[in-house]
Chains A and B, each alone.
Chain A
Amino acid sequence: MIITNVHFYIVGALLFSIGIYGILARQNSMDVISSVMLIFNAAVLNFIAGFSSDGRFALQGEIWVMCTASVAACMYVLMTMVVILVIVRTKSGGKLDDMHELEG
């Protein structure tokens, strides 16, 4: 059996839909960001499959994945900022010496 680009698209659609559910239904901001990561996974899969199925554009697919990875890196900066912000607000100004345990 030959794997075609449509197989990858269907997997990407399922990942995208699950990510949409997470964005709409979850309460916590970290959960929403992790759901956005699921959508990034779907986008990467679609880029790779869509551009690889035509061999002339495989390079463009990998460039698009790098663009997606850059945006994902921005999301990680946002996530890090959320963590630091909560630590600063709850743990006496964010002093590292005062943080002995990993729980809110």
Chain B
Amino acid sequence: MVAIIFYIFAFCAVGAAFMSAINRHPFYRCLWLSACTLFVAGLCIIAGAGFVAFVYMFLFGAGFGIMMLGAAFFARRSTESGVNGQWIPAVLLTVGITIGMIFLMIRSFPARPVPYAGAHPSLVELARAVFVDYALPLGVLFVVFIMTLAGAVTVLRKLRSS
């Protein structure tokens, strides 16, 4: 039963990603990307990481709101432009990367079963890891995030002053 759900979610995720890549209208592209993220979160739940799927959906839900705002704003000018001139090499490279990666993964990685909702840490263990064990690396990441915010504000201030 879990295998059937996995295959349905995997097919839907890849299909939604494909539709997101080829669709010309930016708003529909954002909707397909949202669907892809939804199915990837479902795959995370199948792998037993429900909390991560929740956090992922929460963050990306907010992000897709921003994206849809931008997509609606860019809608008129973006439908006039689709793919650029290098789309044929891009397709060839994509097919090559896909075949190479799948071949490499089947040959190189040992197939181990993914436990469904088992052997996963509780929220207490996860919180201890975030705020105690991995506090320094995550703190560095948050500094990067603050620097991104500061850069965005700086660029906007320069734009306003010019």
Give me the interface of A with B, judged by CB distance under 8 Å: 1-11, 13-22, 24-28, 30-31, 33-35, 37-38, 41, 44-45, 48-49, 52-55, 58-59, 61-63, 65-67, 69-89, 93-94, 102-104
Contacts and interface: CB of A to CB of B under 8 A. Distances in A.
A79 B30 CA distance: 13
28 contacts: A2-B3, A3-B3, A6-B109, A14-B14, A14-B17, A16-B97, A19-B17, A21-B90, A24-B89, A24-B90, A25-B84, A25-B86, A26-B82, A30-B70, A30-B74, A41-B36, A44-B44, A45-B43, A54-B112, A59-B121, A59-B126, A63-B129, A79-B70, A80-B66, A81-B152, A86-B74, A88-B160, A103-B75
Contacts, number: 263
A18 B90 CA distance: 10
A48 to B, nearest CB: 5
Contacts of B160: 88, 93-94
Nearest to B37: A41
Interface string B43-77: 11011110110011001101100110111111111
A26 B137 CA distance: 34
Nearest to A22: B21
Contacts of A10: 102, 105-106
A73 B148 CA distance: 10
Nearest to B23: A31
A24 B90 CA distance: 6
Given A31-B26, A85-B155, A88-B159, A52 B21 contact: no
